[in-house]
Amino acid sequence: MSCKRVLAGGVACNSRLVEMCNIMCSERNARCFVPPREFLVDNGAMIAYTGEIMFNAGDYPKSPEEVDIKPRQRTDDVQINWRK
């Protein structure tokens, strides 16, 4: 069974990112899928739903001072504490 990865959202409009993901998947014997460009938009509902999941799990900053913006943080370094 091969591993499958989906690249979606507005970032998937970046052709260099798609190229890099295809290379990484190829090196790992994985399949990469990118939906047609017309479906690659930032989705406010998706972002809001993720926020609701995090809120319900208690995984959110309790005050503005606790917010930590990391513009150079890699997506594979993000800690997901609300996912089981």
pLDDT 10s digits, 28-54: 898 899 988 888 877 777 788 888 888
**Section 54-79 average pLDDT:** 83
Alpha helices, DSSP H only, in 1-84? Answer: 15-27, 44-56
Of the candidates 15, 20, 19, the one whose C-alpha atom is nearest the C-alpha of residue 37 is 15
d(CA 54, CA 37): 29
pLDDT at 73: 84
The answer to whether the pTM exceeds 0.75 is no
Share of the chain above pLDDT 90, in %: 14
